[in-house]
């Protein structure tokens, strides 16, 4: 290699580009070096302001071949870890490992096989970048904050389960092993397992564009659990045990309008339409707006509440402004339930289930209940026919006809 070639160094470094592991080529502007980079299959990145190729042994071989006699290839950047990631497997072909650029040391050997770890394992920079890219895609797709949180959380657990693997190197069989760990070791519910499948499928299909990797991963068998429902007497006892006006309005509005917790805390003052006795839900589940009923009893309480508390933007606000905390609502319900002496299992969402069931028992058409709840499919609403006591109460057990 002549002196001119030695003076013109090409510095190689790790690069994550569009969630793909790449090799960055840094060198001063030179028509001859640009031609060599193109000959090596490199492309220009406007984002990172450098040339790059996929990070694979064959591409590294092409780089050395293309720059042979033209520039010194500095591999020190490739010997470093990508951020805090685990050491990458050796990307250097055997021929180059023997003598790299006139005596440079070969890359470090491949690490031990990926091993499952705990959820507390810290993410590498590469994994953090992958999740950041996934977040951007989800936000562009206008997924709800809750869905984004669930998808990122499940994908993060997959990355943590294989701390020594680059996200792009996690194979179909690795994903299945992670699913088996969730099902058999952690024993998560079918719902949680299905959420993990949805999140992982989204990452590899929508972020990496690799549909084949997740086409055949197994989904858990669907469950059909009946919702918990409180009787009218139990609801009366719970609502009657709350003394605080604000807390009363919160629980009464959830039950009387069939609201989800997230819908309740994001209500604005302008979403209450007193003259039409309506509550407007904006951007509910599935990004759908809907209108539900406003009870005159709740309206009277709300008038007194607004007069006393004077909320500015949201109907129910925290001490420092902004929407009321969902954990605070859950605590209100838990305390009211305990004070009322209700021992049946129930959460805030049980009030919504009770709203639908009680409407059905009073003869309200199922299609209207579907609209009030914001269900896309009538099959979702039909589940309340299985917990309603109206029809079951008329059925006589055959035991009653026995002469015992």
Domain CATH code at residue 173 = 1.10.150.130
Are 246 and 333 part of one and the same domain? yes
pLDDT value, residue 58:
76
Burial of 360 (C-beta count, 10 Å sphere; 0-12/13-18/19+): buried
Q: Are residues 247 and 320 in the same domain?
A: yes
Same domain, 180 and 91: no
**203 and 257 both lie in a single domain:** no
260 annotated active-site: yes
Do 297 and 242 have their domain in common? yes
Which residues are bridge partners to 53 per DSSP?
A: 23
Active site residue 375: yes
Contact 151, 183 (CB under 8 A): no
User: Which of 81, 246, 290, 349 is labelled catalytic?
Assistant: 349
Q: What pLDDT is stored for residue 39 in this prediction? A: 86
Per-residue confidence (pLDDT) for residue 109, from 0 to 100: 36
Which candidate in 11, 39, 260, 282 is catalytic? 260
- pLDDT at residue number 393: 67
| 99 noted as active-site residue | no
- Whether 398 maps to a domain, the answer reads no
Residues near 218 by beta carbon (within 8 Å), at least 6 away in sequence: 176, 179
Same domain, 326 and 198: no
Active site annotation includes 352: yes
Is 110 contained in some domain? no
The one catalytic residue among 285, 309, 314, 339: 285
Domain membership flag for residue 242? yes
Residues 175 and 292 in one domain: no
Establish if 31 belongs to a structural domain: yes
The answer to whether residues 210 and 236 belong to one domain is no
Residue 119 has a pLDDT of 41
CATH number, domain of 91, equals 3.30.780
Residues 250 and 192 in one domain: no
Q: Label residues 208-243 b or e (16+ Cβ within 10 Å = b).
A: beeeebbeebeebeeeeeeeebbeeebbebbbebbe
Q: What is the pLDDT of residue 314?
A: 93
- Which residues make Cβ contacts (< 8 Å) with residue 235, sequence separation at least 6? 255, 351, 354, 358
Is 4 annotated in the active site? no
Identify whether 14 is a catalytic site residue: no
Q: What is the pLDDT of residue 382?
A: 84
Among 7, 10, 3, 5, CA closest to 74? 10
The answer as to whether 401 is a domain residue is: no
- Same domain for 238 and 329: yes
Q: State the pLDDT at residue 226.
A: 81
pLDDT at residue number 82: 52
Domain boundary among the residues 155, 188, 214 is at: 214
Could you say which of 21, 266, 352, 353 is catalytic? 352
Q: Is residue 168 part of a domain?
A: yes
For residue 38, being part of any structural domain is answered with yes
120 in a structural domain: no
pLDDT score of 7: 52
Q: How far apart are CA 66 and CA 38, in angstroms?
A: 9
- As a whole number of angstroms, the distance between CA 63 and CA 68 comes to 8
What is the pLDDT, as a whole number, of residue 358?
92
CATH of the domain at 328: 1.10.443.10
Domain housing 299:
232-391
Domain count, the chain: 3
**Cβ atoms of 292 and 379 closer than 8 Å:** no
Rounded to two decimals, what is the model's pTM? 0.57
Residues 129 and 272 in one domain: no
pLDDT in tens, the chain (404 residues): 444 444 568 889 888 877 778 899 998 888 888 888 888 888 888 888 889 988 877 788 888 888 888 888 888 778 765 544 434 444 444 444 433 333 333 333 333 344 444 445 678 888 999 999 999 999 999 888 888 999 999 999 999 999 888 998 999 999 999 999 999 999 888 888 999 999 999 999 999 888 888 888 888 876 677 888 999 999 999 999 999 999 999 999 999 999 999 999 999 999 999 999 999 998 777 678 899 999 999 999 999 999 999 998 999 998 888 889 888 999 999 999 999 999 999 999 999 999 999 998 888 888 999 999 988 888 888 888 877 776 666 677 787 778 77
Residues 149 and 267 in one domain: no
């Amino acid at each position: 290699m002549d002196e001119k070639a030695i003076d013109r160094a090409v510095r190689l470094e790790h690069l994550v580009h569009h969630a793909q592991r790449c090799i960055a080529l840094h060198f001063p502007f030179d028509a001859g070096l640009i031609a060599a980079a193109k000959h090596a299959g490199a492309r220009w990145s406007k984002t990172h302001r450098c040339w790059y190729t996929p990070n694979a042994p064959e591409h590294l071989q092409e780089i050395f071949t293309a720059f042979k006699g033209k520039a010194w290839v500095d591999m020190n950047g490739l010997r470093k870890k990508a951020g805090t990631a685990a050491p990458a497997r050796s990307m250097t072909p055997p021929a180059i490992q023997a003598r790299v650029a006139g005596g440079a040391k070969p890359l470090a050997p491949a690490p031990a096989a990926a091993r499952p770890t705990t959820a507390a394992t810290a993410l590498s920079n590469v994994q953090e970048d992958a999740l950041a890219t996934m977040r951007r895609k989800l936000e562009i797709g206008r997924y709800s904050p809750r869905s984004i949180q669930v998808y990122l959380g499940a994908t993060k657990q997959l990355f943590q389960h294989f701390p020594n693997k680059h996200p792009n190197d996690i194979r179909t069989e690795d994903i299945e092993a992670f699913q088996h760990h969730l099902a058999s070791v952690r024993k998560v519910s079918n719902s949680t397992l299905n959420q993990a499948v949805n999140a992982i499928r989204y990452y590899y299909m929508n972020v990496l564009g690799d549909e084949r990797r997740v086409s055949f991963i197994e989904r858990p068998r669907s469950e059909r659990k009946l919702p918990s429902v409180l009787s009218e007497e139990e609801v009366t006892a719970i609502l009657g045990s709350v003394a605080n006006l604000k807390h009363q309005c919160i629980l009464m509005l959830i039950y009387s309008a069939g609201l989800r917790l997230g819908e309740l805390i994001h209500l604005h003052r302008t979403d209450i339409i007193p003259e039409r006795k309506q509550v407007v839900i904006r951007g509910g589940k599935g990004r759908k707006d809907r209108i539900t009923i406003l009870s005159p009893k709740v309206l009277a309480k709300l008038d007194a509440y607004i007069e006393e508390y004077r909320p500015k933007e949201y109907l129910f606000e925290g001490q420092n402004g902004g929407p009321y905390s969902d954990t605070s609502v859950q605590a209100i319900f838990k305390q009211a339930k305990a004070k009322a002496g209700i021992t049946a299992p129930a959460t805030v969402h049980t009030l919504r289930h009770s709203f639908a069931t009680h409407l059905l028992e009073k003869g309200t058409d199922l299609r209207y209940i579907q609209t009030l709840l914001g269900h896309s499919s009538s099959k979702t609403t039909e589940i309340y026919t299985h917990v309603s006591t109206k029809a079951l109460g008329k059925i006589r057990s055959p035991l009653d006809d026995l002469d015992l």
